Amino acid sequence: MWRTADVAADRQWSVELDDGQRAAIVEAARRAAARGHTVRTLTAEEFALPDLGTAIAAWSDMLEHGRGFVLLRNFPIDQLTEHEAELAYFGLGTHLGSPVGQNRQGELLTHVRDERLPPSAGKVRLYRTRERQDFHTDGADIIGLLCLQTAQRGGESRIVSSWALYNELLATRPDLLEALYEPVGWDRQGDIPDGEAPWFLLSPITDFDGVPRLFYLGWYIRDSQQHADAPRLTNAQEEAMELLEHLANDPTFHLEMDFQPGDVQLLNNGRILHAREAYEDPPDPARRRHLLRLWLAAHRFASLEAGLRGGVAAHTST
């Protein structure tokens, strides 16, 4: 558990890759590309990083037992082609966890950018736009973002400790904390499996092995209210959501990161909520904000119960 002052004063979570680590990643990526690998075929064995074993174990420990997040800086995108950079990022990820699909199509590596989709495109996931995303979780144990290109203005990443939010609610409004343990409806955002309802039921907080897990996307929950057969949010549930979001957006609780090209943000999804500010991009597509997103089922720990991870990941890609 942490608050802003804690992580601002102690920046062990920010790690600069050294020349040897960068070179090892570049060599592995080029070797994988030469062998014709894609993200569908690449494995940790095919992306061997023996010289980074100790460092990777330390990063995993920071995610599991430390602050719950790591920022790796100086990832060698400057030495790689676009395809090699994808393989490098994905290959590194395989040493932390097993990649999992991020939508119904089973995408293992997602491009996060404003696609400038027309209104006729219908319901569009926020990661495909430049709109703000409030604090939320995703559908895996580890959430990774690699920055390839920054926005012209805005787009800052913000993260907050879900345990800090939990403890604040426990201390100040335990009645509202209890409301978050109650099941609520979640809209499927137009991604509806055959034969299923356009919404599903899930509690924002669930205890796994005695440890509370916060799984939260406020707009999914509020959008469920458009369906007549979805359960109505109670006054307590609505107030609990508003307070949770208010606390997360309080600078006392969250840390803001201004991504630079080559930054890799890794989050323990069971302990961290993340948000993104709205942003502006130049007309040139090559200069627009561009991130690569990776979802991993962690090798060493579980942020989400297996049934929860498998059951909701397909329709909670933001």
pLDDT tens digits along 265-292: 999 999 999 999 999 999 998 899 999 9
DSSP code at position 226: G
State the chain's mean pLDDT as an integer: 92
Determine the average pLDDT of the residues in 143-172.
97
Task: Give the model's pLDDT for residue 193.
Answer: 81
Confidence of residue 128 (pLDDT cuts 50, 70, 90): confident
pLDDT for residue 132 is more than 70: yes
pLDDT for residue 226 is more than 60: yes
Residue 185 contacts residue 224 (beta carbons within 8 Å):
yes
Q: Is pTM beyond 0.85 here?
A: yes
Task: Give the model's pLDDT for residue 191.
Answer: 78
CA 47/CA 31 separation, integer angstroms? 8
pLDDT for residue 158 is more than 50: yes
- φ, ψ at 159 (rounded to 5°): -130, 155
Determine the average pLDDT of the residues in 78-97.
98
User: 46-77 pLDDT, tens per residue?
Assistant: 999 999 999 999 999 999 999 999 999 999 99
DSSP code at position 6: H
- What are the domain boundaries of the chain? 4-163+244-315
Task: Give the model's pLDDT for residue 123.
Answer: 67
Question: How would you classify the pairing of strands 254-257 and 142-149?
Answer: unpaired
Confidence of residue 315 (pLDDT cuts 50, 70, 90): very low
Determine the average pLDDT of the residues in 144-158.
96
CA nearest neighbour of 270 among 9, 65, 54: 65
Determine the average pLDDT of the residues in 225-231.
97
Confidence of residue 103 (pLDDT cuts 50, 70, 90): confident
Helix (H, G, I), strand (E, B) or coil at 16: strand
Q: What separation in angstroms does the CA of 277 have from each of 4, 94, 136, 270?
A: 18, 29, 13, 22
Tell me, which fold does domain 4-163+244-315 have in CATH?
Double-stranded beta-helix (3.60.130)
pLDDT for residue 314 is more than 50: no
Task: Give the model's pLDDT for residue 180.
Answer: 98
Residue 195 contacts residue 180 (beta carbons within 8 Å):
no
Helix (H, G, I), strand (E, B) or coil at 112: strand
pLDDT for residue 302 is more than 90: no
Give the angle 92-11-262 at the CA atoms, nearest 5°. Answer: 35
Contacts of 282 (CB under 8 A, 6+ apart): 152, 288
pLDDT for residue 311 is more than 90: no
Helix (H, G, I), strand (E, B) or coil at 190: coil
Burial of 191 (0-12, 13-18, 19+ CB in 10 A): middle
Structure tokens at 103: 């939508």
Residue 304 contacts residue 269 (beta carbons within 8 Å):
yes
CA nearest neighbour of 293 among 142, 134, 133: 142
User: 198-211 pLDDT, tens per residue?
Assistant: 999 999 999 988 88
Of the given ranges (33-37, 55-59, 102-106, 195-199), which has the lowest mean pLDDT? 102-106
Helix (H, G, I), strand (E, B) or coil at 161: strand
Residue 305 contacts residue 299 (beta carbons within 8 Å):
no
Structure tokens at 143: 């959430």
